[in-house]
Amino acid sequence: MSAPLLEVEDLVREYRLPRSRLFGPRGVVRALDGVSFRLAAGKSLGIVGESGSGKSTLARAVMALEPPGEGAVRFLGRDLSALPPGELLRARRDFQMVFQDPYGSLDPRQKVGRIVAEPLTALAELGAEERRQRVGEVLASVGLRASDAGKYPHEFSGGQRQRIAIARALVTRPKLVVADEPVSALDVSVQAQVLNLLQDLQAQYGIALLLISHDLAVVDHAADEVAVMFQGRIVEQGAPAELFRAAAHPYTRALLEAVPRLVPRKGRRRSPPERNDAPAGGCAYAGRCPAAQERCRREVPLLRGLSGSRRAACHFAEAVMSEPSPAAEVGEIMP
Amino acid sequence: MALLEVENLEVRLKTVRGMAAAVRGASFALERGERLGLVGESGSGKSMTALALLGLLPEGAELAGSIRFEGQELVGLAESELCRLRGDRIGMVFQEPMTALNPLHTVGRQVAEPLRLHRGLSNPAAHEAAVALLDRVGLPDAERRAHAYPHQLSGGQRQRVVIAMALACAPDLLIADEPTTALDVTLQRQILDRLAELSEESGMALLLISHDLGVIAENTRRMLVMYGGSIVESGPTAAVLQRLAHPYSQGLLGARPRLGAGRGNRLATIPGSAPELAEIPSGCPFAERCRLAIDACRAAPPPPEPVGPGHVARCIRLDAAGVRP
């Protein structure tokens, strides 16, 4: 079997917290706690989870924007953290990023043409004319006009700006695009345009996509595979159809339950109170889990294979999977 | 008499291209204890409607029409009178809790502030009440957290603090503008459930503003859809969602990614983007983006057409949209 496009292995990233008292000890938070996955060329992996689950840290680690504490990110078989800086810069043409905020991620003082061309500066072999042509092509591919290159970001709406950000990510013809909440700052009607665009571009150019979102429906729409993160770990992974039909981790179930439905469930279930008394040395979700047992408080569940490509980190994954799915209750209506 | 009656509300804002109407003749009413949803995207006028109700419009804005709260006219009311209502009879919760809180004061003090201001409570009494409120909105360990500063709390906890502040004086009306948009689904669910419970317990009316049709479906009895400053559709939430009539409302539903739809399904999109305030056409505001638009749509603002009991849509092309009145 050939090496996957992207291979993330046992990634650990810790951040030190500020002291709570002058001479108190500095706490440490594990933003990533042993994350591993593979992404094949042309495929898309969606990462979902609540804020603080480590999704954005994962995106930054994959982009080699920060060094992993432990573990490795291998792109086409090469460990990114082991590459010399010049080498890494050249390697970056193959993996590009789209950020959440289409306002903050584009320099307001530069024209769109220059913003989009910027990743090309690392590729010295292109002449000025070729660059201009490349920018024109990529703007056209995201549904903008070549003449838009002469305008400034403020002349565009939020959805158009996100198209510019996508064009910038595509201009080097990358093999992987990492998109961190690419549509969550957009209006619903514009979000749909950008999601369709991402899907088209992926199909057209065979780009692999690592899509980070807190919105399960967005991920379901755009990903071949989904990984659910909770407190720095992947707690469940699988194809969206299977994962949403028979979730094997109670946290995935809680997420599915909480998605607002157009047809409200009968007999509104009250949400459990917020608590997070995760036991040390046990499952991080045990404090919130309605089905937690004694074993969950003693023993950390490892991410293990279920059927096919499904993986889940729950001692009782098989039992959880066999329960009726919260997603199956969806009786959504279409006009 | 309804708790809140809004009639022909007009809000005009200063823009670089002169004054432009952000709200164009909005009318609606809200009964005591009722939960009303307001759906719209950026530029629809939904937030300006909320700010107008609170008397918090930006500098230089012009307000016309009528807003009656418990029979009292708020349009033209002196700022000092509005101050007496705000935070007391009318509470508000905004989208971003971090900007709604003062980073230099403990959250307990901020929740206590309306009680000292409007109720004249002493500091110890206000603090005690603040702790009780924080507990009521579901902040765990409220006694201790009352002494925390906003940055020491998570996003969900901060939003609970903001809600506790808004509820401090037991308002008759709570206006919540995208109260959970910055939060994850599980937190969103907890907070919206809590708001619904509080409204049921105390008979507080709720105006819930959201871009998410699912949030509106689960938490409101009646709903309004705004586009380009106009209320384009309104009615009982279940009935409206059962039979969305206005082409814009239909477009909004089609554009919404649905869980379980699976990969490969393209989302329906609404062509173009929302018009700038100064560019909203004088006829139907949606005409430029509507696949059903005819010349008559651009000629004059469409009148409300009945769709079902209590359900109306401002569209003259309901037949073409597949909706029979």
Q: What is the ipTM of this complex?
A: 0.81
User: Cα separation of A209 and A242, whole Å?
Assistant: 20
> Which of A56-60, A296-300, B94-98 has the lowest average pLDDT?
B94-98
Distance, CA of B130 to CA of B108 (rounded, Å):
6
Judged against a pLDDT cut of 90, whether residue A69 lies above it is answered with: no
For chain B, how big is the Rg over CA atoms in Å? 21
- Name which of B263, B265, B286, B307 to mutate to probe chain A: the one with the most chain A Cβ atoms within 10 A of its Cβ: B263
For residue B305, the distance in angstroms to the closest alpha carbon of chain A comes to 19
Nearest by CB to A224, from B188, B253, B263: name it. Answer: B263
Could you tell me how many residues make up chain A?
335
> What mean pLDDT is predicted for residues A190-200?
87
* pLDDT value at A178 more than 60: yes
Q: B212 contacts in A (CB within 8 Å)?
A: 188, 260
Q: Grade residue A333 by pLDDT with cuts at 50, 70 and 90.
A: very low
> What is the pLDDT, as a whole number, of residue A273?
53
A154 touches chain B (CB under 8 A): no
* CB of A296 less than 8 A from some CB of B: no
Least confident of A69-73, A94-98, A151-155, B181-185: B181-185
pLDDT of residue A271: 57
- Model's pTM, two decimal places? 0.87
**Confidence (pLDDT) at A125:** 74
Distance CA B292, CA B319 (A): 10
Q: With a cut of 70, which residues of chain B have pLDDT below it? A: 182, 262-264, 324-325
pLDDT band at A327 (very low <50, low <70, confident <90, very high): low
Which residue did the predictor score with more confidence, A104 or B98? A104
Average pLDDT on A280-295 reads 88
Closest CA to A89 of A120, A58, A126, A131: A120
Chain B contact set for A144 (CB, 8 A)? none
Ordered DSSP codes for B71-84 = TEE-TT--HHHHHH
Percent of all residues in chain B with a pLDDT value above 90, rounded to a whole number: 67
- What SS3 string covers B162-215? HHHHHHCCCCCEEEEECCCCCCCHHHHHHHHHHHHHHHHHHCCEEEEEECCHHH
Q: Using a CB–CB cutoff of 8 Å, tell me whether A238 touches chain B.
A: no
In chain A, what residues touch B241 (CB-CB under 8 Å)?
262-263, 333
pLDDT of residue B324: 64
Integer angstrom CA distances of residue A11 from A136, A184, B292 = 38, 26, 53
What is the predicted pLDDT for the residue at A335? 33
Q: What is the pLDDT of residue A274?
A: 52
Q: What is the pLDDT of residue B322?
A: 83
> Chain A window 180-209: which residues touch B at a Cβ cutoff of 8 Å?
187-193, 195-196, 199
Mean pLDDT throughout A199-217? 91
Cα B208 to Cα B191: distance, rounded to the nearest angstrom? 12
Q: Do B185 and A187 touch (CB under 8 A)?
A: no
For residue A86, what pLDDT is reported?
A: 87
Q: Where does the pLDDT of residue A276 fall: very low under 50, low under 70, confident under 90, or very high at 90 and above?
A: low
Given a cut of 90, whether residue A334 has pLDDT beyond it is no
Using an 8 Å Cβ cutoff, are B283 and B297 in contact? yes
Q: In this predicted structure, which of A27-36, A95-104, A183-192, A291-300 has the lowest mean pLDDT?
A: A183-192
Within 10 Å of residue B91's Cβ, how many Cβ atoms? Answer: 25
Q: What is the spatial distance between Cα B270 and Cα B291, in angstroms, rounded to a whole number?
A: 9
Would you state the pLDDT for residue B261? 72
Q: Do B188 and A260 touch (CB under 8 A)?
A: yes
CA nearest to B250 within chain A: A335
Task: Please tell me the distance from the alpha carbon of residue B186 to that of residue B191, in angstroms, as a whole number.
Answer: 9
Name the token pair of A186.
């957009």
Whether A157 shows a pLDDT value over 90: the answer reads: no
Q: Say if the Cβ atoms of B269 and A215 lie within 8 Å.
A: no
* pLDDT on residue A189: 82
Quote the pLDDT of residue A267.
53
Q: What local confidence, expressed as pLDDT, does residue B270 receive? A: 87
Binary contact (A271, B193; C-beta < 8 A)? yes
pLDDT of residue B197: 87
CA atoms of B14 and B21, how far apart (whole Å): 9
Average pLDDT over residues A257-275: 68
Contact A177, A98 (CB under 8 A): yes
Mean pLDDT of A130-158: 89
Is the pLDDT at A263 greater than 90, yes or no? no
Interface of A with B in 253-272 (CB under 8 A): 254-264, 268, 270-271
Q: Provide the pLDDT for residue B292.
A: 94
Whether A20 has a pLDDT exceeding 80, the answer reads: no
